Amino acid sequence: MNGFELHNPTKLVFGAGQVQQLGKLVKPYGTRVLLVYGGGSIKRTGLYDEVLAQLESIGAIVHELPGIEPNPRLTTVKKGIAICHAENIDFILAVGGGSVLDAAKGVAVGAKYDGDVWDFTINKAVIRDALPLGTVLTLAATGSEMNGNAVISNWETKQKRAFGSKYAYPKFSILDPKLTFSVPADQTVNGIVDIMSHVFEQYFSLTPDRPLQERFAESILLTVIENGEKALANGSDYGARANLLLAGTYALNGTIQNGVVTDWASHSIEHEVSAIYDIAHGAGLAIIFPNWMKYVYREGISQFVQFAVRVWNVDPTGKSDDEIALAGIEATRAYFTRIGAPATLADVGVDAEHLDRMAEEATQFGSIGSFKKLGKEDVKAILELSL
Amino acid sequence: MNGFELHNPTKLVFGAGQVQQLGKLVKPYGTRVLLVYGGGSIKRTGLYDEVLAQLESIGAIVHELPGIEPNPRLTTVKKGIAICHAENIDFILAVGGGSVLDAAKGVAVGAKYDGDVWDFTINKAVIRDALPLGTVLTLAATGSEMNGNAVISNWETKQKRAFGSKYAYPKFSILDPKLTFSVPADQTVNGIVDIMSHVFEQYFSLTPDRPLQERFAESILLTVIENGEKALANGSDYGARANLLLAGTYALNGTIQNGVVTDWASHSIEHEVSAIYDIAHGAGLAIIFPNWMKYVYREGISQFVQFAVRVWNVDPTGKSDDEIALAGIEATRAYFTRIGAPATLADVGVDAEHLDRMAEEATQFGSIGSFKKLGKEDVKAILELSL
């Protein structure tokens, strides 16, 4: 493995009823709170009332930024930044899934920056400060609850870009599996695919001799594979929801990334698809990832053989490495299909029209990925495999 | 799994040559530094000079607490506390293995407490503050580099006791696998046993439905089993040393403990043995742990069956659960013997004379353990199995 630094200061507060800790957790950061949330499902479930009661218990003055989109938009983030400035906000509280958390991170870093927050996503500026941020998570998916990363969509330019900073780690994240009981099947599926994809981006690497990171990654995949189907069979299965939620956090909190050169090409490609078509991130990843695997596996076939054997229990007896690796990739696709994820761009209504533009955008700063460095033609080939 | 809080603020700085970061890492905490180390091996290896050069580069005034014992003693910790008071120390830097780190933690919490630091180990006082502490680790073993726990020996009363506090987490820990190249075989073996034992204490639990924590624990065990033998075959195998070092950290940094009721009876028993006989902690654990397993496995046999199959690759075909579980326990003993760890108290010169006293001391605050609650007679039985 390579050298690395790991510093993850987020306090994880996990378990049924932990929202009751919220007031106590927010209190040290001040009383002027910006509450960030999505489409209102937290009002239907009663979570909104619980959160407000907690904030009232510490005498907080609450301003709101509702309506965060599934692919959170730059315009919305800017609205939040304006509220922070106008209302002298002390603390940002995100209540929702990954999109809400990512938008809140955008607000947190943007509120402490004089320029355009979009600058951070195009390497025009470096994040040097942020408002403190806490989260109450309602969806097992992005891992945003325990890292400093966020993805924002610029709807005007049809671009979807990420930023990351040590300043954007949540101070705390409350993870109550019961809050995910009401997540509908399609979003549960997207979450499962998202978590598995995060692991893939870090597991398929050419960095040698990192057995612990590999086994940790396989542990997350096996846990998600087993518990994903359980959660889909019974949305109120506490154990399944809890295991998914914890797996999602560990998929992207640094644990499996320590000292590993990661890839992230599939995410970059998916971002270009969903920047234009506004499809769910998990759906896009389900379509693209197995095709990325097929396109690149020969660059490091032993990793794909190990994946097939350890994660999908492929029997290697009498098979060539090529056959074993492909069986693992097929098993991945079969699992995605079994849980109801789309397999082709056609399944989500995307045709070949913009493939060239997507490939162009994905590689605008140069080749992407590390397992195999992908240029524009490679990206286009993967997109064509996905039609 | 149960509810839990996880907050691990230690910054891990891992890799060859990372001691070069030391000055930069210490600087924010002040200039009056207490350097804590052990028997002088860091002078032979040149690490001492490197550390001093780094501290000089930031203009630090360095005081020293050398000579930390393998089972660090209360008297030595108190010497360090006196230096902190006399010299108005800002920051404590521990350079060495787990014992040095534990002693430094004792100094750090004791320096901010008016009473006797021993109070913290006997629940007479609660830790409410500590001097900031950093570490440079030279041995893969205790995990002390990324948690808030320490074990101190009171040689006058022949007691070995632990304390834990959020204030005792190192601000940073530098882990350079090359610094462990010179660790002799016997200490490498003790470290391997220590790491595996930490995992056992958290893995053998009656807490249901914690597949991720179980698989993470198995990941650590498999990594240690594979890389332990490699490190013993070639002490300068960077990959093996690096994998052991990282596994040791993850064995006790909270990752596998999340939401799990842990046991720690074997550690309590071993502490009573090494409090009287001053044997190496790892040696004592190698003797006791397989006997603890034999004594308790029927309380949760499925856990031991899983352990045998997943960790030791025991073929379950045609075997009863009892046979599978016992095969896993035998495989553990066989591995310890293969790497050169002792198997009986007789191997380390301990006879039956003080068994009764050890069992008495181990259970002085009541029964110990959770997988099976052990009273005095249980502890004595395990010690007798170990003769």
Is A13 part of the contact surface with chain B (CB cutoff 8 Å)? yes
Query: What is the full DSSP assignment across B155-223?
Result: TTTTEEEEEE-GGGS-SEEEE-GGGGTT--HHHHHHHHHHHHHHHHHHHS------HHHHHHHHHHHHH
Rounded Cα gap, residues B62 and A55, in angstroms? 47
In chain A, the residue whose alpha carbon lies closest to the alpha carbon of B2 is A15
Of A99, A67, A59, the residue nearest A83 (C-alpha)? A67
Collapsing DSSP states into helix, strand and coil, what is residue B41? helix
Beta-carbon pairs below 8 A across chains A and B:
115
In chain A, the residue whose alpha carbon lies closest to the alpha carbon of B247 is A212
pLDDT band at B374 (very low <50, low <70, confident <90, very high): very high
Rounded Cα gap, residues A47 and B68, in angstroms? 53
Structure tokens at B70: 């393998």
| Residues within 8 A of A (CB atoms), B 162-221 only | 208-212, 215-216, 218-220
**pLDDT score recorded for residue B101:** 98
Residue A40 DSSP class: S
The pLDDT of residue B40 is above 90: no
The pLDDT of residue B158 is above 90: no
Collapsing DSSP states into helix, strand and coil, what is residue B354? helix
Contact B14 A8 (CB under 8 A): no
Contact by Cβ (8 Å): A142, A98: yes
- How crowded is the C-beta side of B358, counted as CA atoms within 13 Å? 28
* Second CATH level (architecture) for the domain B11-179: 3-Layer(aba) Sandwich (3.40)
Rounded Cα gap, residues B34 and B83, in angstroms? 8
Contact by Cβ (8 Å): A302, A321: yes
Contact by Cβ (8 Å): B377, B355: no
Region label for B264, one of left (φ > 0), alpha (ψ between -120 and 50) or beta (otherwise): left
For chain B, give the longest Cα–Cα distance.
Answer: 68
CB atoms inside a 10 Å sphere around CB A27: 16
In chain A, the residue whose alpha carbon lies closest to the alpha carbon of B246 is A212
Instruction: Provide the angle, in degrees to the nearest 10, between the axes of the packed helices B185-203 and B281-296.
Output: 30
Of B160, B156, B158, the residue nearest B121 (C-alpha)? B160
Phi, psi of B13 (to 5 degrees): -120, 105
Of B84, B30, B8, the residue nearest B249 (C-alpha)? B8
Structure tokens at B99: 């014992």
Residue from the list A12, A211, A246 with its beta carbon closest to the beta carbon of B212: A246
ipTM value for the complex: 0.97
Where are chain B's structural domains?
A: 11-179, 184-385
Structure tokens at B379: 């502890």
Contact by Cβ (8 Å): A114, A74: no
Length of chain B: 387
Cα B349 to chain centroid, rounded: 23
Contact B211 A220 (CB under 8 A): no
Is A115 part of the contact surface with chain B (CB cutoff 8 Å)? no
Is B28 part of the contact surface with chain A (CB cutoff 8 Å)? no
> Between the CA of residue A161 and those of A140, A243, A268, B149, what are the distances in Å?
21, 29, 9, 41
Top residue of B219, B243, B250, B256 to mutate, by most chain A CBs within 10 Å, is: B219
User: What stretches of chain B show up as alpha helix (H) in DSSP?
Assistant: 22-26, 41-44, 47-57, 74-87, 98-110, 185-203, 211-233, 238-250, 265-277, 281-296, 301-312, 321-338, 355-362, 376-385
Rounded Cα gap, residues A269 and A98, in angstroms? 19
> Between the CA of residue B142 and those of A284, B70, B99, B100, B276, what are the distances in Å?
44, 12, 8, 11, 20
Residue from the list B2, B12, B239 with its beta carbon closest to the beta carbon of A15: B2
Burial B253-262 (b: 16+ CB within 10 A, else e): bbbbbbbbeb
Top residue of B173, B196, B212, B225 to mutate, by most chain A CBs within 10 Å, is: B212
Residue A124 DSSP class: S
Block mean pLDDT (10 aa), chain A, length 387: 97 98 98 95 95 98 96 96 98 97 98 97 95 97 96 89 96 98 96 98 98 98 98 98 98 98 97 88 96 98 98 98 98 98 96 95 95 98 97
Phi, psi of A325 (to 5 degrees): -60, -45
Contact B239 A18 (CB under 8 A): no
Return the amino acid letter for B234.
Answer: N
**pLDDT score recorded for residue A158:** 82
Rounded Cα gap, residues A318 and A275, in angstroms? 44
Rounded Cα gap, residues A233 and B176, in angstroms? 47
Pick the CATH number of B184-385 from 3.40.50.300, 1.20.1090.10, 1.20.210.10, 3.40.30.10: 1.20.1090.10
Return the amino acid letter for A382.
Answer: I
Collapsing DSSP states into helix, strand and coil, what is residue A154? strand
Residue B46 DSSP class: S
Query: What is the rounded (10 degree) CA torsion for B191, B196, B198, B203?
Result: 170
Contact by Cβ (8 Å): B371, B205: yes
Residue from the list B212, B219, B222 with its beta carbon closest to the beta carbon of A247: B212
A298-340 residue pLDDT tens: 999 999 999 999 999 999 999 999 999 999 999 999 999 999 9
* Residues in chain A closer than 8 A to B216 (CB atoms): 216, 219
Q: What is the CATH superfamily name and number for domain A185-385?
A: Dehydroquinate synthase-like - alpha domain (1.20.1090.10)
Is A59 part of the contact surface with chain B (CB cutoff 8 Å)? no
B160-196 residue pLDDT tens: 889 999 999 999 999 999 999 999 999 999 999 999 9
| Residues within 8 A of A (CB atoms), B 254-273 only | 255, 258-259
Rounded Cα gap, residues A192 and A247, in angstroms? 10
Query: What is the full DSSP assignment across B89-125?
Result: --EEEEEESHHHHHHHHHHHHHTT-SS-GGGGGGTSS
Which run of H or E residues covers position A35? strand A32-37
Structure tokens at A340: 């109801």
